[in-house]
Structures are given as C-alpha cells and as structure tokens.
Amino acid sequence: MPHTLRLTTLLERDYRQHAHPLQQLKQQLPLIDELCRTLGVSTFSSFIDISAIEWQEAAQLTGQDANSVEADPETGTPLTIEDLSWHPAALGMASLEAVSQHLQRGENLRFQVEDVTPLLTELAECLEHLAPLEADGGQFHFAAA
C-alpha cells in the first residue's frame, strides 16, 4: 500500500496535485472498494496511479539519483502528464458521490463510527475539486507515493 494518496487533476494541460493527503481514503480503501462493488460503481483503487512509485523503484534499481533528474515543467516531477494514468472526472464523481451518499445515510456498519466523519470530509474535498472539471472533460487520479 502506498505511503500517501493525493488527488491530482488535469484539465487540458492544467495539472494540479492537491496538497492535502487523503489519509482516511487510504486507510479505508479496502472497505471503500467493497462498498463501491456493492453500489455498482468503479472502485477507488482503480483510480490510483502508481507511476511515481514505479519511477522511484526504477531509479533505485538503476542506481540513478532520483533528485538529479530534471523536473517536467508542467508536473514539477520527473514524470510528464503523458506518463501518468488518467480517468474521466465524471467517472470519479459517480463513485465519490455514491460512497458519500451511502455513508451519509449511515447504512454501512463495516466502517467504524469515528472514521466516517473524517472520510466524508475527504470525499467532499475530492468532489469539490472534481465538480468543475466534470462538464469540461477534466481528468483525475489518486497519486500514490
């Protein structure tokens, strides 16, 4: 499992990796994926992009200093927009909304009560960032690092 997950969005060539790590989403990922399957929407794990982890591992295997590689001007990382895996914002919205609405109704006993509110907060943040992109054909992923 990755150390962190961060929402990353793309509209045309406007790349943004949001600073707030999605800690609750990461911790609850197996339960969230199970709920997504029950609700008939795409699982959150299907939206995770592990390109940065793969790049780090490749750099270590080849003995390359990861800090010596020039950063791409658009992403600020060694990876370009084309190196990353993207999903339609509308697809993510469907999953995020389904999980959020289900948890708000309080019908799922699999989640610990104390975890629901912070998870709903993270889901709301993701929805807030994806909503403006949905109609314009924006894309997103959860960047794993």
Confidence band (pLDDT; 50, 70, 90) for 44?
very high
- Range in 51-55, 59-63, 106-110, 120-124 with the lowest mean pLDDT: 106-110
Instruction: Using alpha carbons, list the distances in angstroms from residue 120 to 17, 57, 82, 97.
Output: 20, 33, 31, 10
Confidence band (pLDDT; 50, 70, 90) for 60?
confident
Cα(130)–Cα(145) distance, rounded to whole angstroms? 21
- Range in 61-65, 90-94, 136-140 with the lowest mean pLDDT: 61-65
Pull the structure tokens for residue 142: 């959860």
pTM for this model (two decimals): 0.91
**Average pLDDT of the residues in 11-31:** 96
| Nearest CA among 44, 41, 22, 35 for reference residue 107 | 35
CB of 92 closer than 8 Å to CB of 7: no
pLDDT of residue 135: 92
Domain residue ranges in the chain: 5-144
Pull the structure tokens for residue 14: 């406007």
Cα(13)–Cα(11) distance, rounded to whole angstroms? 6
Rg (CA), the chain: 16
Tens-digit pLDDT profile for residues 109-118: 688 888 899 9
